[in-house]
Amino acid sequence: MSRPIIPIVAEAAGAESVSLYVSEAKIQTRAVSGWFATWRWAIVWLTQILFYGLPWLPWNGRQAVLLDLGARRFYIFDMVLHPQDVVFLAGLLILSAFTLFLFTAVAGRLWCGYACPQTVYTEIFMWVEQLVEGSRQARIRLDAAPWTPDKLLRRGGKQAVWLAIGLWTGFTFVAYFTPARTLAAELAGFELGPWETFWILFYGLATYGNAGYLREQVCKYMCPYARFQSAMFDRDTLIISYDAERGEPRGSRRRGVDAASVGKGDCIDCTLCVQVCPTGIDIRKGLQYECIGCAACIDACDGVMTLMGSPKGLIRYATQNGIAHRWSRSRMWKRVGRPRVLVYGAILLAIATAFVTSLALRAPFKADVVRDRGALARLVEGGRIENVYRVQLMNGTEQAQRFHVDVEGLAEATVAGWSDVELAPTEARWVPLAVRVPPDVARTLGPGAHPMRLRIALVAPAVTGDSDGAARAPLAERREKSTFVIPR
């Protein structure tokens, strides 16, 4: 606050007039191989085999993972989830968020660099580019070249493969909502519904546009995570760092020549780290918000250093403290167990435990009891008081279920005219239910609303001639609170 804002004028020394908008330069990255590239490709394979393969995996006579929006049933392997299970989706999102926090606090943008779909599809699309149009140099030449048949063929070929991958991705995405085999048959017969067509094209073209053209622009200008990451970084976060003390002053030298002997640092200024960078930054300028932590520059630099006969790690995963204080690797790693990481870790562990436990102990059915909207209470034969309820039963399994209901917490109350209800697999149904109380009990209780519970028991399938589920031990049961009203 102490210094006033000083507007500069065009005539000031070194000032120049510039536009506030620029066309972004096209980044042609050099292909890179090495330890971290291998890891990234391993994760690309893992995630993509999972993504493209899952819709084709059969399970219990249906698709293993199917989100049936029309019927509002979500099948995930052995589980059948109802919309009422949306809490698990919330749990999954919280779990993902804390995993992200933890990994970011420990080692920066691991998600961005290795597993984010934007990175993964960009990687795949760049691989196609490399295959069809050639190396970085060849591509830069091709960009500048006039339109020859060869250029047309290469560009056309790349576009065709990109579009094919994009559309296949769109198809796979929709196959999580419409069974893949049905969708394939519909596609073959040109019988796709309007929404299926829209989503295949939309998701397909979004993949094509994001991975083919927007690439690092998504990370730089659209992704919110790129901007809030800094809240989770501290000076003990492992980030991709250039060891300036070791590298500077940079300059070229002959292979095998000791850098110190010619008064130079280890960096030979080959700019390979810039050429491989998918966001086009120079890591030697330090941590920048554009850096997605893909470690391509580490691989490139390690290769060069090996070639030059210098030790690896001029660019490496290191913390700001580690670089500043020349800490050893083990000293840096010891700082991983700092309070921020421990808190993230503990929360993550707690949520993960709760998530897995609640999923494992999930009841095979759900029940909800609602008092009837129509009448509070009515008088029936023998002066008994009757209340009516609606019970919603939801079968959370793929087997038929049978339910028995009785009343708890209300003396001599009986369930009138209920015969055990049978629910088809995954079915949800409202069932009316009447509860009766004898006149003398009603008099004792007095007018008003009296708390009671309905015990809803899942019982074994009916044996012939057996209509009373009470006789059999319940496989699972729930108690739902409600009230019984006795009129004045």
Cβ proximity to another protein: between 68 and 290 the closer is 290
Spatial separation of the C-alpha atoms in residues 340 and 252, rounded to whole Å = 42
Q: Are 272 and 30 in contact (CB under 8 A)?
A: yes
Q: Which of 79, 64, 52 is nearest to 179 (CA)?
A: 64
Cβ proximity to another protein: between 187 and 449 the closer is 449
CB of 19 to another protein, least distance (A): 5
Residue 434 is a binding residue for another protein (CB under 8 A): yes
Backbone torsions φ then ψ of 455, nearest 5 degrees: -95, 115
Residue 223 is a binding residue for another protein (CB under 8 A): no
DSSP one-letter string for 219-243: IIII-HHHHHGGGT--TTS-EEEE-
Spatial separation of the C-alpha atoms in residues 371 and 66, rounded to whole Å = 35
Cβ proximity to another protein: between 16 and 254 the closer is 16
User: Which 244-273 positions form the footprint of another protein (CB under 8 A)?
Assistant: none
CB of 73 to another protein, least distance (A): 17
Spatial separation of the C-alpha atoms in residues 100 and 103, rounded to whole Å = 5
Cβ proximity to another protein: between 22 and 473 the closer is 22
Residue 12 is a binding residue for another protein (CB under 8 A): yes
Residue 402 is a binding residue for another protein (CB under 8 A): no
Q: Are 139 and 129 in contact (CB under 8 A)?
A: yes
Residue 195 is a binding residue for another protein (CB under 8 A): no
Spatial separation of the C-alpha atoms in residues 283 and 27, rounded to whole Å = 15
Q: Are strands 414-416 and 476-486 parallel, antiparallel or unpaired?
A: unpaired
Count interface residues toward another protein (CB under 8 A).
43
Stretch of residues binding another protein (CB under 8 A), selected from 72-80, 109-117, 296-304, 430-438: 430-438
Q: Helices (DSSP H) in 229-338: which residue ranges?
A: 244-247, 272-275, 296-308, 320-324, 329-334
Residue 19 is a binding residue for another protein (CB under 8 A): yes
Among residues 58, 251, 432, 439, the one that binds another protein under rule CB under 8 A? 432
Among residues 48, 159, 197, 217, the one that binds another protein under rule CB under 8 A? 217
DSSP one-letter string for 168-192: HHHHHHHTTTTTHHHHHHHHHTT--
Among residues 67, 79, 161, 421, the one that binds another protein under rule CB under 8 A? 421
Stretch of residues binding another protein (CB under 8 A), selected from 15-23, 174-182, 184-192, 454-462: 15-23
Stretch of residues binding another protein (CB under 8 A), selected from 4-12, 54-62, 237-245, 298-306: 4-12
CA distances from 118 to 74, 159, 218, 402 (A): 26, 18, 8, 48
CB neighbour list of residue 366: distance below 8 Å, 6 or more residues apart: 82, 84, 392, 393, 394, 396, 478
Spatial separation of the C-alpha atoms in residues 163 and 84, rounded to whole Å = 38
Cβ proximity to another protein: between 312 and 371 the closer is 371
Spatial separation of the C-alpha atoms in residues 474 and 355, rounded to whole Å = 26
Residue 17 is a binding residue for another protein (CB under 8 A): yes
Q: What mask, x for binding another protein by CB under 8 A, covers residues 362 to 391?
A: ----------xxxx--xx-x----x-xxx-
Residue 415 is a binding residue for another protein (CB under 8 A): no
Three-state SS annotation for 147-168 = CCHHHHHHHHHHHHHHHHHHHH
Residue 406 is a binding residue for another protein (CB under 8 A): no
CB of 463 to another protein, least distance (A): 20
Q: Are strands 62-63 and 476-486 parallel, antiparallel or unpaired?
A: unpaired
Cβ proximity to another protein: between 311 and 461 the closer is 461
Residue 27 is a binding residue for another protein (CB under 8 A): no
Cβ proximity to another protein: between 341 and 458 the closer is 458
Q: Are 307 and 208 in contact (CB under 8 A)?
A: no
The residues binding another protein (CB under 8 A) are 1-3, 5-10, 12-24, 217, 221, 372-375, 378-379, 381, 386, 388-390, 417, 421, 429-434
